[in-house]
Amino acid sequence: MDKPSTSIATVNNKKIQAAVNNLNKLGIEQRNLSQKLNELEGDAAEHRLVIDALKEVNGERTCYRLVSGVLLQSTVNEILPELEQSLSMLRNTANQFRTKIKDKGQEMNELIKQNNLGPMIRAQNGARIEESIDEEKEKSDSKIDDLKKPSTSVLVE
């Protein structure tokens, strides 16, 4: 009798371990997507600041834009539409990342429900929740500070 119950426990243990491994993998993927989303949002905010600044400038003024390490010369009137198109693309890409992050979260929740991992996760993460909240607040504060810095990718003479 010990053999069947031991093998069932082993199978269940392996199933739970596989589910936990899959959950960890999904969590890593979700964090990577979130990091990329934060970069995109920072770039979009920088584009918005530059666009707003250039709208205040005479459209015929010479303007330089750094693209892939190459400094391009043109006028403000030529650069503004390019920046606005780039901003639009950044926002669209950010929205796609938000959707992917949400989908990963739903996939993780489904995996947790299917394998009844909720109690185990709460027990493991209970102490870490407060730490992660503090870390996220620090990251958020540093991002706000970064957004206040002036952009260096467009120079107007």
Task: Give per-10-residue mean pLDDT for the chain (157 aa).
Answer: 61 84 94 97 96 95 92 95 97 97 95 85 63 67 60 59
Q: What is the pLDDT of residue 94?
A: 97
Residue 83's CB: how many other CB atoms inside 10 A? 19
Q: What is the pLDDT of residue 99?
A: 97
Which domains are seen in the chain, by residue range? 2-156 (1.10.287.370)
Q: What are 68's two structure tokens?
A: 């892939």
Q: What is the pLDDT of residue 26?
A: 94
Q: What is the pLDDT of residue 106?
A: 96
Residue 127's CB: how many other CB atoms inside 10 A? 8
Please report the DSSP string for 79-113 in residue order.
Answer: HHHHHHHHHHHHHHHHHHHHHHHHHHHHHHHHHHH
Residue 115 near residue 19, CB atoms below 8 Å: yes
| pTM of the model as a whole | 0.70
